[in-house]
Amino acid sequence: MESIYRNPLVTVDIIIEIKDSIVLIKRKNPPRRWALPGGFVDYGESLEESAIREALEETGLEVALEEQFFTYSNPDRDPRHHSITTVFIATASGIPKAADDAIQADIFTMDNLPQLMAFDHASILKDYFQYKNGSFKKEIFLINRLRK
């Protein structure tokens, strides 16, 4: 009897900082909502290489990865399938230009984020903004997740 393995898909998302703002894209494919730039890791590609590639493909921006923020693995985070994303914080300069899987790219602050966001990206950005203002502690966050 043949076994069928179902493994989660590996993705990356990038929080691109430009001055005191971040870059979001509006997705060309369903769900057609605002999202962090990102996508699937290609075979033979590191997470870091994937993040740099996806940022360039979707925003036209060359980014410098500053840190690996967090990995999100809730099986329900993407309604299409079980995916695990590693989120990077990166910096860039310039004006984002939508391309590839994005139909629009724009700059936002914590105070003017779009209402409708894809996947769990609103939650990721909530964590990010708490992290930036010093109220998000990765260790406490992880412990609380494990207790659920």
Q: Could you tell me the residue range of the domain that residue 120 belongs to?
A: 9-147
* 3 lies in some domain: no
Does residue 125 fall inside a structural domain?
yes
User: Which tokens in the block code for residue 122?
Assistant: 């609103």
Q: What is the pLDDT of residue 6?
A: 86
User: What total number of domains does the chain contain?
Assistant: 1
Would residue 2 count as lying in a domain? no
Query: What are the tens digits of pLDDT across the range 10-50?
Result: 999 999 999 999 999 999 999 999 999 999 999 999 999 99
Tell me what the pLDDT averaged over the chain comes to.
92
Residue 92 has pLDDT above 80, yes or no: yes
CA distance 35 to 125: 10
Is residue 148's pLDDT more than 60?
no
Q: Kindly state whether residue 4 falls inside one of the protein's structural domains.
A: no
At residue 134 the predicted structure's pLDDT band, cuts being 50, 70 and 90, is: confident
Q: Residue-wise over 76-110: b if at least 16 C-beta within 10 A, else e? A: ebbeeeebbbbbbbbebeeebebebbbeebbbeee
Residue 39 parent element (H or E): strand 38-40
Indicate whether 142 belongs to any domain: yes
Q: Which residue has the tokens 């493994």?
A: 7
What is the average pLDDT across 130-142?
A: 78
Residue 138, H or E segment: helix 138-147
Residue-level pLDDT at 1:
55
CATH number for position 17: 3.90.79.10
**Residue 62, in any domain of the structure:** yes
CA 26 to CA 108: how far, in whole Å? 12
C-alpha distances (whole Å) from 148 to each of 79, 103, 135, 142 are: 20, 37, 21, 10
pLDDT at 2 over 70: no
The CA distance from 130 to 12, in Å, is 20
Residue 1 domain-assigned (yes or no):
no
pLDDT band at 120 (very low <50, low <70, confident <90, very high): very high
Asked whether residue 110 is assigned to any structural domain, the reply reads yes
Residue 64 has pLDDT above 80, yes or no: yes
108 beta partners? 22
